[in-house]
Amino acid sequence: MSRIQSVFQSLQASGRRALIPFITAGDPAPELTVPLMHALVEGGADIIELGVPFSDPMADGPTIQRASERALINGMSLRKVLALVSEFRATNGSTPVVLMGYANPIEAMGVERFVAAAAAAGVDGVLVVDYPPEECAVFARTLKAADIDPIFLLAPTSTEQRIREVATIGSGYIYYVSLKGVTGSGALDFNDVAARMPQIREGVGMPVGVGFGIRDAESARRIGEVADAVVIGSRIIEEIENSPLDQAVARVKNFVAGVRAALDQIQGAPR
């Protein structure tokens, strides 16, 4: 059983929701990434999504775009991201780490070389935004052979066929994009998410995390009523970019702790 599967099994047994925060590796400074990862865990994160900075992040809104730009200016690369995961693993061997990014850096490294390096670093899952499931069965098999979960996105516009494709090759959990648009944009429609969750969960047969548009503890709690996991990214990046460097880690920890407390108010299985 993978670390991701183990986390969800444990949480579901106690009726709790997974909290999956996102930060961009190398933002605001490379030396703060690992301390930020530990702060996320101390604040109550169950799984960490670590963004691989990319120059053309088409699914990301202005906030995460700025984070990628800062990280790239700081010299971050895919290899350096993997080195940060290794550094985190030196003192945390239990919290799953999911890399979230785009195909170009992986293609530049080479798929087999990337998967081997990710496994050696201690990566648990990989979500490549621009790898459609119908075109990356080989990539997914290569990840699974290295005990890494290939994670895919579903959206409000996803068809039954796309849901079936994701169910066939994905593992770990599904990332459901709660709105039409990029990260950090639009108004979250809780009723629409609630209406879609039973169909998505039944169709994929694995935990479903919901992200995009979750801004605070209350919106996280409302999403947690119907989802297995809550993913929150842009709001954390805003906390980082609005904090002095020497306060960013503490502020992120406090913000995540508030979201964790709200999720822990939920009782029972998702609706």
Residue among 32, 83, 72 at smallest CA distance from 239? 32
Q: Where are the beta strands (DSSP E) in 52-109?
A: 97-101
CB 37 within 8 A of CB 108: no
94 near 122, Cβ under 8 Å? Answer: no
Question: Is the distance from CB of 96 to CB of 3 less than 8 angstroms?
Answer: yes
Phi, psi of 260 (to 5 degrees): -60, -45
Give the largest CA-CA distance in the chain: 48
Asked if 128 contacts 102 with a C-beta cutoff of 8 angstroms, the reply is: yes
Residue indicated by tokens 């648990």:
124
d(C-alpha 214, C-alpha 237), whole Å:
13
CA–CA distance from 212 to each of 157, 189, 216 (Å)? 15, 11, 12
Euclidean distance between CA atoms 192 and 202, whole angstroms: 17
* Residues belonging to the active site: 49, 60
